[in-house]
Amino acid sequence: MMLEGKVAVVTGSGPNIGGEIARTLAREGAKVVCVDFLDDRADVAAASVREEGGDAIGVSADISSPEQVEDLFRRTDEAYGRVDILVNNAAVNNEAGLLDIEFEKWKWVQSVIMDGTMLCSQQAARRMVAQGEGGAVVNTASTTGHRGKAGFIAYSASKGAVLQMTRTMAIQLAPHGIRVNSITPTQTGASRGTTPGGSTAPRAAKPKNIPLGRWGEPSDQAQAVLFLASPMAAYVTGENINVDGGLLALFPSERGPQET
Ligand SMILES: NC(=O)c1ccc[n+]([C@@H]2O[C@H](COP(=O)([O-])OP(=O)(O)OC[C@H]3O[C@@H](n4cnc5c(N)ncnc54)[C@H](O)[C@@H]3O)[C@@H](O)[C@H]2O)c1
């Protein structure tokens, strides 16, 4: 197993992508700390890992709070004594554009995506540096962080920042053997209605503009995270993988091959 003896912290371990990432890393031998702030999502994800024979704990924490992030990593230390992998997956959305967004909502989205990614990465990286055995951070961007979208000013700006944080963290941490990369999902799994602040509108059965002709599955994202977190990606840092069925490769004025 590729991640035997490793400890992974996965934020936003809800029922869609984060839970699948936790189980995927655990299947390769990682001990997993599942983190979420909503209901009992962290415990549910950890229980799903243990049901498969893996080792996991759930920690309920709001990653936009410096105090709660410090406590999260203290509890990780107590449970497993180290951190080797961090997956910054938690996010919220707010479907509002420049003309109508409320300032509080603008700050809320940034505080989860940007502050949360920075705070968790700082706590994890300090531990990885002290351990002296390298490590891997995988951030979660979005196709909306690469392209403009009228009604997503806060989410789009914050996800664009995640791409730039990935490069910046990768450069500083490279001398310590700590790799930092990102994945870029496009619409995946049951996200509609589960992301706090996100749309509850039903999704079309088939996408019109995704060249591979289907929506993403949580496992598509989790496999890419596994690759980046594992020794298979030993020489990859500061990089992003688009896990988007070819969406960002499509010339904007072209119709996707699946579109009729
Ligand atoms: N699913 C998609 O279509 C899609 C597309 C592009 C990017 N993404 C990104 O992939 C990641 C996972 O997406 P998902 O669809 O599984 O989302 P999701 O909403 O189903 O899961 C995100 C989880 O993060 C948790 N969370 C939010 N704020 C938090 C906080 N402050 N502290 C702790 N936990 C918090 C939520 O409770 C939720 O369980 C997100 O970063 C999202 O932006 C998803």
What pLDDT, on the 0 to 100 scale, is given for residue 190? 77
What pLDDT, on the 0 to 100 scale, is given for residue 236? 99
Domains of the chain, first to last: 7-249 (3.40.50.720)
Residue in 105, 86, 96, 117 with CA at minimum distance from that of residue 6: 86
Rounded to two decimals, the pTM is 0.96
What pLDDT, on the 0 to 100 scale, is given for residue 193? 47
What pLDDT, on the 0 to 100 scale, is given for residue 203? 73
For residue 69, the number of C-alpha atoms closer than 13 Å in the C-beta half-sphere is 22
What pLDDT, on the 0 to 100 scale, is given for residue 257? 61
Whole-angstrom Cα Rg for the chain: 18
Of 39, 92, 191, the one to substitute when testing ligand 1's pocket (max ligand atoms within 8 A of C-beta) is: 191
Of 9, 16, 40, 156, the one to substitute when testing ligand 1's pocket (max ligand atoms within 8 A of C-beta) is: 16
Other CB atoms closer than 10 Å to residue 202's CB: what's the count? Answer: 8
Which atom of ligand 1 is the closest one to the Cα of 112? 31
Other CB atoms closer than 10 Å to residue 200's CB: what's the count? Answer: 8
What pLDDT, on the 0 to 100 scale, is given for residue 30? 99
Give 199-207's long-range contacts (Cβ < 8 A, gap of 24+). Answer: 199/93, 199/95, 206/258, 207/245, 207/256, 207/258
Distance, CA of 114 to CA of 127 (rounded, Å): 20
Show the DSSP H helices in the chain as ranges.
17-27, 41-51, 66-80, 103-110, 116-131, 153-173, 218-229
What pLDDT, on the 0 to 100 scale, is given for residue 205? 79
Residue ranges of the chain with pLDDT lower than 70?
191-202, 255-260
Two structure tokens written together for 54:
């893996």
| Active-site residue flag, 80 | no
223 residue type, one letter: Q
Query: Does any ligand 1 atom lie closer than 6 A to the CB of residue 157?
Result: no
Q: How many Å lie between the centroid of ligand 1 and the Cα of residue 132?
A: 31
Question: Annotated catalytic residue: which of 37, 80, 152, 155?
Answer: 155
Q: How many Å lie between the centroid of ligand 1 and the Cα of residue 122?
A: 20
Q: How far is CA 252 from CA 157, 214, 248, in A?
A: 20, 18, 9
Residue 59 has φ and ψ, to the nearest 5°, of -130, 120
